[in-house]
Structure 1
Amino acid sequence: MTDLKLAVFDIDGTLVDSQDMIVRAMTHAFEALALPVPARPEILSIIGLSLPQAMARLAPALVPDRLDDAVTAYRDSFFAMRSTDGAAAALFPGARAALDALHMRDEVLLGVATGKARRGLVHMVETHGLEGYFQTTHTADEHPSKPHPAMLEAALAETGVAPGRAVMIGDTSFDIEMGRAAGYRTIGVAWGYHPVSALHAAGVDRVIDDFAALGPALAEFWEG
């Protein structure tokens, strides 16, 4: 019987470098509502959360209706930017090669657990020609926000992989906390939007400095 393994990836800050687009869209959203614009580090700190939770952290004094307006303003700005500018977040160096190598292994299943909405995930996959790479995909508009483990629990249910053979790969403390809550091993990436110290504080199993280190780290979990 094949020993199936599962590698689940976060998107923003892990596979793609979307920080400039996110910061620009968030800036436009706050300006549209005549609100003080959060500093760039504040905006980066909430990447990975579902958008309503992210907005609530950035502007905790907003009443629910205004919070909804802020969410809508962000989405409108982001999609306008993408359609008008043709903007698309680039894959981090080495990401494609790492995905290609894993995709070629019959016993390895790939997944996504992202703070993006389904529409954003579809755009990313189509932009980078990753159709057919991910056997299980879960988005913020279909599940509770990270770090709730619902996305990763659904991935296990869909693939039939045991938690001990599953690994969550992400760049934020939310990814690591979610992975631990679902019983996954966790790999943090040092090039993302949360400092490495935050990943360690969240209990990450391993932090890698580049995608070349991903294969050996996974091998240690799966074969060591």
Structure 2
Amino acid sequence: MTHPPLPAPRPLVLLDLDGTLMDSAPGVLSSVRAAYGHLGVPAPADAVMRTFVGPPIRRSFTAHGVAAEHLADVVAVYNEHFGRVGVWDTTVFDGVPEALRTLRDAGALLVVATAKPVAWAVPICAEVGLTPLLDAVVGAPADESESKAQIMGRAIAWVRSTTGVDPDPARTVMVGDREHDVEGAHAHGIACVGVGWGYGGEEELLRAGAAEVVHDVADLAPRLLHRLGLPAPARPPS
């Protein structure tokens, strides 16, 4: 007895959230300042605090002066302030909705894979209007205990369970702005396209092994379509 062939997997774009699709720095930084204020010590300079945007917050506090015995309390203050105020202080980068529409119209699956806790990632995507442009939003657990590679693994598993086929690594790409996005992609054998408008910068991305860095949002969809072997959308008649 022969079985019908499985459908070909659709090209998959995994998307970081903070610094890639949206500028969440104002809300994150205000919450970081509140946490350091609670501890009674000066917050790091803004340039340093911008590195807090994206990675798990516990890791950032630990790397910048918060002792282990104070960590749980500082994170709790951060989470309270961010959940009440900071999470909503965010804006979608200009051109991102158009890029997502172009990719979806070309046949790509779009799945957010973010280190932001899913309890915040899902409502903020809905609030800023991204949800209708995405196929799924996969975020970190509340304790932020997973690496970016693990979060990406769950995003890929969601695609497998939903479509019934494994994504093709050659037609899967991660889009992000920090080194952990690149490292997570490499853990799954896929390329990472870095974005230069985020918080990591070109040097960090290339040092981590990004396949390329896109500096203008308007160039993102064309570059991804080319990489995934998808046709560019037809131009409307003039």
Relative to the length of structure 2, the TM-score reads 0.83
The percent identity for this pair of structures is 28
For the Cα contact (< 8 Å) 1:7–1:166, is it kept in 2?
yes
Corresponding residue for residue 151 of structure 1: 151
- CA change 1:183–1:144 in 2 (3 A) is farther
Corresponding residue for residue 30 of structure 2: 24
Count of matched residue positions in the alignment of Structure 1 and Structure 2: 217
Gaps of 5+ in 1: none
Counterpart residue type for residue 77 of structure 1: H
Counterpart residue type for residue 11 of structure 1: L
Of the three residues 53, 57, 73, the one matched with 1:51 is 57
For the Cα contact (< 8 Å) 1:9–1:169, is it kept in 2?
yes
Corresponding residue for residue 80 of structure 1: 84
Corresponding residue for residue 180 of structure 1: 186
2: CA distance between counterparts of 1:220 and 1:185? 13
Residue 104 of structure 1 and its aligned partner are, at CA, apart by 2.6
- CA change 1:82–1:25 in 2 (3 A) is closer
- Residues 97-176 of structure 1: pairs in structure 2 closer than 5 A: 97-105=98-106, 107-141=107-141, 144-147=145-148, 149-159=149-159, 160-176=166-182
Secondary structure at 1:21 match in 2: helix
What is the CA deviation profile of residues 128-152 of structure 1, one whole-angstrom value per residue up to 9, with x for unaligned ones? 22334333432122664444x1112
Residue 122 of structure 1 and its aligned partner are, at CA, apart by 1.7
For the Cα contact (< 8 Å) 2:182–2:205, is it kept in 1?
yes
Corresponding residue for residue 200 of structure 1: 206
What is the CA deviation profile of residues 108-165 of structure 1, one whole-angstrom value per residue up to 9, with x for unaligned ones? 1111111211121122221122334333432122664444x11122222221312222
- CA change 1:155–1:80 in 2 (3 A) is closer
Of the three residues 65, 68, 72, the one matched with 1:63 is 68
Gaps of 5+ in 2: 1-6, 160-165, 231-238
For the Cα contact (< 8 Å) 2:95–2:218, is it kept in 1?
yes
What is the CA deviation profile of residues 35-87 of structure 1, one whole-angstrom value per residue up to 9, with x for unaligned ones? 23111122112322112222212225x124x101110111111223258xxx4
Corresponding residue for residue 14 of structure 1: 20
Higher-Rg member (1/2)? 2
- CA change 1:24–1:135 in 2 (3 A) is same
Secondary structure at 1:139 match in 2: strand
2: CA distance between counterparts of 1:194 and 1:146? 17
What is the CA deviation profile of residues 11-40 of structure 1, one whole-angstrom value per residue up to 9, with x for unaligned ones? 111111111111111011100111231111
**Does 18-27 or 40-49 show the bigger shift?**
40-49
Corresponding residue for residue 219 of structure 1: 225
**Does 155-164 or 136-145 show the bigger shift?**
136-145
Secondary structure at 1:56 match in 2: helix
